[in-house]
Structures are given as C-alpha cells and as structure tokens.
Structure 1
Amino acid sequence: MLQNPALIIIDVQNGMFESENPVYNGDHLISNLKTLIHKARIADVPIFYIQHNTPVGKPLEYKTKGWELHPGLSPMDTDTFVQKTTPDAFFNTCLEEKLKAKEIDHLILTGIQTEVCVDTTCRRAFSMGYTVTLVKDTHSTWDSELLTAQQIINHHNQVLRWFADTKNANEIEFQKK
C-alpha cells in the first residue's frame, strides 16, 4: 500500500489526441487512467492534473479546446490543477506548494509525453526527495525518426526504474485514508 500518495496526470489534454497525429495507444492510456482515477477517488487520494500551456497557435494553447483535459478524465472541483510551460511540472509552478499543503510524499506518475514531461518530472521529483511510482502502461508518446513509441516507452520504463518504482496500472493499490 502507498503512504500519502497523489495521482499525477501530466498533459493528458485534447491537443495530444488530434486525429491527424494522436498519441500512441491513446484509448488504452485513457482506459488505464480511468481505472487509476476511480481507485484514487475510492481511497480519497488527491489527484493532480498538470496542464501544459503553449504559445498562441500551438495545439496546447492556453484556454483553447486543445488545452482542455481529455473528456475521459472527468475531473472534479476537488482535484488540483497545475499550469506549466516547460517539461518540468515543478519548474515555476505551484506543484510543490500544493503537494506540501496536502502532505504528499509519494507521487504516482502518469501522462504524456514519456521522454519529455513524464521523464523530466520523474527525475525532478526523485531529486526533491519524493517517493515516485511510474505507471508503466499509463504514459505515452509518438514515434520518432529512430524509435517507435512503444520502444520509447519501454526504454523509459527501464531507465526511470533508477528514479521510481515501476508498476502497471493494475498493480497500483491505494490505501483508504
């Protein structure tokens, strides 16, 4: 069981699911996230939604349809929302302040983009002293010129095990507070 955890959902925004270039395995990602959100809500575990804000004209432009959270996530007013402009969810944001206010010491990381925002936030959280769990089947990306999205995900699941426990979504159990 996890002590003082929070579920962190990074950049699962509409712009990542655009029909011409959707994130890899997006339906599976949303399905796993729904399961984790449900488990977190039952156990009264805080949920943090991290939203990336990009410049005007980009897919995640602030306050546009692309910037909004994916509708499958069903956020509630009691959830915490953090805005960021870099891959690091802690850099120039209120994330650390909000985590400390809720006495969170264990971050359950999920989201998009595996090799950028998820990787950066995972390493930073570890360096800041948080216990981190990376949910192996609940982060995603796109194919690159050199690697498929699945290869990138697999690689990061291996590399980030130095900074986080790695588990599949069905292995995550939250203890009721």
Structure 2
Amino acid sequence: MIKNSALLIIDVQEAMFSKDTPAHNGDECLEKIKRLAEKARRKGIPIIYVQHQSSEENDPLEEGSPGWEIHSSIKPEKEDWIIAKETPNAFYKTKLHSELKKMGIVHLVICGVSTEMCVDTTCRSAYSLGYDVILVKDAHTTWDSPHLNAQQIIEHHNKVLSSWFVELQAAEDINFDFSESQINSEVTE
C-alpha cells in the first residue's frame, strides 16, 4: 500500500444537498463518497475535506451557518484534515498544497461538488502542480444548467478531464492499493 496518496472530498456540505435545490443523484453520490472514506480509513489513507466558505451574509455557505457544515453523512473524524477555501480552486490561497507536501502526498483521489466548478478547477490545478489525479467518475455531482442537464455536465467533464488531467475510476473500483508504478509524479513547489 502506498501511503503517499490521499482522498480529497470537495465541498460536500449541507447546503449542497438541501431539499430546496438538491444536487443531481445527491443521495447516491453521498453514499459513494461515504464508502470511499471508509475504504481510505481502513487503508490508513489521509482524508482531506475541502470546505467552501463565503463571507457574504446569508449565503448558504456562509462560514458558521448550518449549510456550511460538512454533510452529516460523511462527517470528518479527528485525524482528517479540513481545508477552507473561498474560490473554486482548492489550492488557490489555501494551505492545501503545503499540507500535502508535508505529508508526502503525490497521488490524489478526488470527488465532491460541483463538477464544472470546484471539482474541475481543482483537478486541473492538481495536475498542473504535478499530482497524479484519479477523479471518481461517479462520485462528483452538480445541478442542471440552462444549457445542459446535470448528467450531461458530469459526462462532459469526465470526458474532458480524462483526456489530459485525470484518470477516471468508478467508486467501487477504488481500493487505495496504488502500485509504485502508478505513482510517478513530481510535485512542484
């Protein structure tokens, strides 16, 4: 087992799964992320929660509000990391990159919300920083847009991101037993 891997869970917060504006296949996505976290814990793989926070009053993700909380179905445990962010990029103006480097992490398994914003941006940034990235193709979600429905957005981003930036794997296929040959990144400063 390779200990230089981590599970990165992006913006899986209560507001993202509200009854008023539920994410596409939200319950299914939450269940897959929960199982991924359980597998990671059994293997001793670090879990990093990225938590979007808004400074705007009455924003559903306003820091400290009920919607801002990590979703109750996947609550972090004491050994897990929580990284706060204010933009779609989990690396921009956060401690994520420096914390991953301290832990010797070079391989990231990414899942979360929302496909075309924070998941996409973070995958591209991770690749640009030299991380090997697996995007869990069935454990990220979003909402319908005026131009595409959520499933089309997810499929489109899986295709685009896998053409250059990530390897795609289904949640059930991820076991966190990466071989040395799969870890070939050199993470940049």
- TM interval, shorter chain, is over 0.9
TM-score by length of 1: 0.96
Tell me how far apart the structure 2 counterparts of residues 119 and 3 of structure 1 sit (CA, whole Å). Answer: 25
**What corresponds to 1:134 in structure 2?**
135
Amino acid at match of 2:10: I
Per the TM alignment, residue 2 of structure 1 is displaced from its structure 2 partner at its CA by 5.7
Q: CA RMSD in A?
A: 1.2
**What corresponds to 1:94 in structure 2?**
95
Tell me how far apart the structure 1 counterparts of residues 165 and 177 of structure 2 sit (CA, whole Å). Answer: 23
TM-score by length of 2: 0.90
Per the TM alignment, residue 23 of structure 1 is displaced from its structure 2 partner at its CA by 0.8
**What corresponds to 2:166 in structure 1?**
164
Q: Deviations over 1:88-112 (max 9, x none)?
A: 0000000011101110000101000
Per the TM alignment, residue 74 of structure 1 is displaced from its structure 2 partner at its CA by 2.6
Structure 2 residue 116 is the aligned partner of structure 1 residue 115? yes
| Paired residues, number | 176
Is the Cα–Cα contact under 8 Å of residues 2 and 106 in structure 1 kept in the other structure? no
Inter-CA distance 47–115: structure 2 relative to 1 (3 Å threshold): same
Q: 1:14-163 residue pairs with structure 2 within 5 A?
A: 14-54=14-54, 55-161=56-162, 162-163=164-165
Amino acid at match of 1:144: S
Amino acid at match of 1:150: Q
Name stretches of at least 5 consecutive residues in structure 1 with no aligned partner.
Answer: none
Task: Please identify runs of 4+ aligned residues in structure 1 that moved more than 3 A.
Answer: none
Identity fraction in percent: 49
Tell me how far apart the structure 2 counterparts of residues 48 and 56 of structure 1 sit (CA, whole Å). Answer: 26
Per the TM alignment, residue 57 of structure 1 is displaced from its structure 2 partner at its CA by 0.9
